[in-house]
Structure 1
Amino acid sequence: MFRQIAFVGVAATMVSGAALAEDDVKLGLMLPYTGTYAALGEAITNGIELAIEENGGKLGGRSVNLMRLDSEAKPGKAPQNMNRLVNGEGADVIIGPVHSGVAMGMIKIARQEGAITIIPNAGLNAATRQFCAPNIFRTSFSAWQTAYPMGKMAYDRGYRKIATIAWNYSFGKESLEAFEEGFKAAGGEIVKQFLTPFPKVEFQAYLTEIASLKPDAVFAFYAGGGAVKFVKDYDAAGIKNAIPLLGSGFMTDGTLDAQGPAAEGVMTTLHYAASLDNPKNKSFQKAYQDTYGKAADIYAVQGYDAGQMLVQALDAVKGNTSDKDALIKALAAVKIDSPRGPWHFSKAHNPVQNMYLREVKNGHNVVVQVAAEAVDDPATGCVMAQ
């Protein structure tokens, strides 16, 4: 069974749920439940719950307590929030965050305290590179994984000269660097890189310059409201037919309804698409729709897989969370049958997974092909990967 406890903030008291039972597995969820990223936090939480419910609502034969703490997507609060869950509430496993800035604060405490931490979204490369640790796992992606494969895909489609553009912040820059690495390795040339102020969404001057450069295509990274505005502005500029738009998958994930016809034909790479034709994805989408009354997105998948890995690992250690070394070993050994396709952990604890080339057709991200199979992040600087 589930027990639900929610904390609004670090100083908050329990506001809902039952009292903790001594034999519960305590999962500390440090995710955004308010603000811009609240929908992502809820989707991840739903996915975790669904995976555990499919196992009878238990982990290793023990009841589960989900302790929700709103990260508010505020990096400055991350160390204090992490300490609250680890040392104050005694969480056996921490799951979070969404925001890469929050992840940096969480990782610092996780490394200091040895707290078992599962990252269900934040894609900063450093989490499974120079800041990797035996107790830190990620069920999502690295920035490199989602952009590097598009380099070869672009070259294979005949593009030889490409301009790149993204917000001037860490994930945007890491995405452009990864694409550029892949495109240059294939033989392509980057004619110009544009970095736009975050989180501003004034793109007209950049689009005018892109039109004058006449590259074969453009690769972009934007997400959320920025992706909606950029894709609409790109379409309105009248250059999409002459200069096709490519991107990291987050540019058209969760944004298509708002982008409307402007997104048609945009091609992206990502580790998931709702249209993936495999039995696990079909059963997952149905179960999620039946349970939550809406379609599952990539964030729900990443949460679901975090739940699946806990099911496997806790069953393997017969519910024993007191032996951290044994639990870490069991977590590292999981093999996940995911809606995105099968995956396993690299030595750096990042998923080794397929990346898919998708094209927006009739308002949906349709899988064109596997862009790259079993993509493993380089894990540069990770001592575990040596």
Structure 2
Amino acid sequence: MRRKRDVIFATAVSLIGGAIALPAHAEDTPPPVKIGVLTDMSGMYRDIMGPGSVLAAKMAVEDFGGKVLGRPIEVVSGDHQAKPDVGAAIARNWFDNGGADVIVDVAQSAVALAVQELARARNKIVIHGVTGSPAITQQACAPTAFSWSLNAYAISAPLPKPLIERGLDTFFFLSADYSFGKAMEDAAAGAIKAAGGKVLGSVRFPQNNPDFSSFLLQAVSSKAKVIWLISAAEDTTNALKQAKEFGIAEGGQLIVVPLTYITNVHALGIANVQGLTFATPFYWDRTAETRAWSERFFKQHQAMPTMDQAAVYSGTLHYLKAVAAANSLDGLKVADEIRKLPVNDMYVQNGAVRADGWLMHPFYMASIKAPGGVKKPWDYYTIEKVIPASEAAQPLSESQCPLVAQSQ
């Protein structure tokens, strides 16, 4: 009996000791490096970012190896619903309570500006995908904020000159009635004037607009050679469907949609948008590298990646490289490495990040193929011209970013 009691006692001590040791072991386990994908998961931008952006960030983590600084990497996501107050609340909670070290995507301009101010105050990193407002890298620029894909200037200013050289020298604007629409119209109008073209008129429409008939009729009656549609997501889809019904392209007017997403084209069908002209920083079928990555993406998402989703992958991957180079998660130290390191991945080769946070990379003037030119699924774009990074980026000499003056 005594031997039996001794065994029971020893076993109990062993179990208690193990239980006591568990918390100490947990304390020794480093917390994960958290990447927050703040995006529109349920609204009008869902298909161009949303779950696809979350997947892109996870693919970047996988390609990096899943760990950095000896710590696991975790991707969390939040739905900002395209509302600044909602987006800011999520970002604040992630930064202050959730242990997030970086926020990526964001996209919608008002949300992006709100999140950028939170990141600035906390020396946290934010990497924007598609964000229309040039203020992100101009007046509102921050040491820890970066713009990875496009803004209003990059997709508006380079397009008019080649069109005017083709004799398409008169323009009419249909612009979304918010800051993004105004910024894009201003950038395009300046470029049109500089290239010798003429703006014959413009009209503004509200966001989430179901009926474009009156606006399109004004554009047609202007007899402008180019109808310049400044819109995004479902507004683009609705406007182009109705333009097809009016037979605008058949009537000889070219429709330009600077902010064109491959998901919009797929939803509409290329027969409805053939000839559409635009600028883009990314096309899935442009190179062997973009194809290989996009096919991986497609297997999990059942749609080819948009430029925003590709930018989220690239920005996330570059952030992790910068963390490793800085050997730190300190926002200012990581931001320094983000600017120092060249950006090399399937999205951009030998890209450079400027003092204002803008990623220098080329854009591509593209048009939608005729149905007979399509050789495989999602084979929609013809790349007509490479727009060098120096032409796509607003010159630093015109910059209103305080960081630019400090760096000179």
Q: TM-score, normalised by structure 2?
A: 0.83
Q: CA separation of 1:83/1:179 partners in 2, compared to 1, >3 Å: closer, same or farther?
A: same
Q: Note if 1:26 corresponds to 2:34.
A: yes
Q: Separation in 2 of the partners of 1:164 and 1:113?
A: 40
Q: Note if 1:359 corresponds to 2:378.
A: no
Superposed counterparts of 1:17-56, under 5 Å: 22-39=30-47, 40-56=49-65
Q: Separation in 2 of the partners of 1:60 and 1:279?
A: 31
Give me the CA root mean square deviation.
2.2
Match of 2:400 among 347, 368, 381: 381
Q: Note if 1:80 corresponds to 2:89.
A: yes
Q: CA separation of 1:96/1:245 partners in 2, compared to 1, >3 Å: closer, same or farther?
A: closer
| 3-state SS, counterpart of residue 335 of structure 1 | coil
Gaps of 5+ in 2: 1-26, 375-379
Match of 1:332 among 331, 339, 342: 339
Q: Note if 1:149 corresponds to 2:158.
A: yes
Structure 1 residue 205 displacement after superposition: 2.0
Structure 1 residue 110 displacement after superposition: 1.5
Q: CA separation of 1:253/1:296 partners in 2, compared to 1, >3 Å: closer, same or farther?
A: closer
Structure 1 residue 156 displacement after superposition: 1.9
Deviates more, 1:174-183 or 1:192-201: 192-201
2:16 aligns with none
Measured against aligned partners, the alpha-carbon deviations of 1:242-301 in whole angstroms (never above 9, x if no partner) come to 111112132x5311133222201111112122231x232122123323454542222220
Larger Rg, first or second structure (1 or 2):
2
1:110 aligns with 119
Q: CA separation of 1:63/1:234 partners in 2, compared to 1, >3 Å: closer, same or farther?
A: same
1:194 aligns with 203
CA contact 1:355–1:372 (8 Å) conserved in 2: yes
1:247 aligns with 257
| 3-state SS, counterpart of residue 44 of structure 1 | helix
| 3-state SS, counterpart of residue 98 of structure 1 | coil
Deviates more, 1:230-239 or 1:262-271: 230-239
Q: Separation in 1 of the partners of 2:73 and 2:119?
A: 21
2:355 aligns with 347
Structure 1 residue 316 displacement after superposition: 1.0
1:166 aligns with 175
Q: CA separation of 1:188/1:340 partners in 2, compared to 1, >3 Å: closer, same or farther?
A: farther
Q: Separation in 1 of the partners of 2:58 and 2:326?
A: 20
Q: Separation in 2 of the partners of 1:72 and 1:54?
A: 29
Q: CA separation of 1:66/1:243 partners in 2, compared to 1, >3 Å: closer, same or farther?
A: same
1:303 aligns with 312
Structure 1 residue 96 displacement after superposition: 3.7
Deviates more, 1:137-146 or 1:282-291: 282-291
The structure carrying a bigger helix percent of its residues is 2
2:109 aligns with 100
Q: TM-score, normalised by structure 1?
A: 0.87
2:18 aligns with none
2:187 aligns with 178
2:9 aligns with none
Measured against aligned partners, the alpha-carbon deviations of 1:27-56 in whole angstroms (never above 9, x if no partner) come to 233223333333412111111111221122
Gaps of 5+ in 1: 1-18
Size of the alignment, in residue pairs? 364
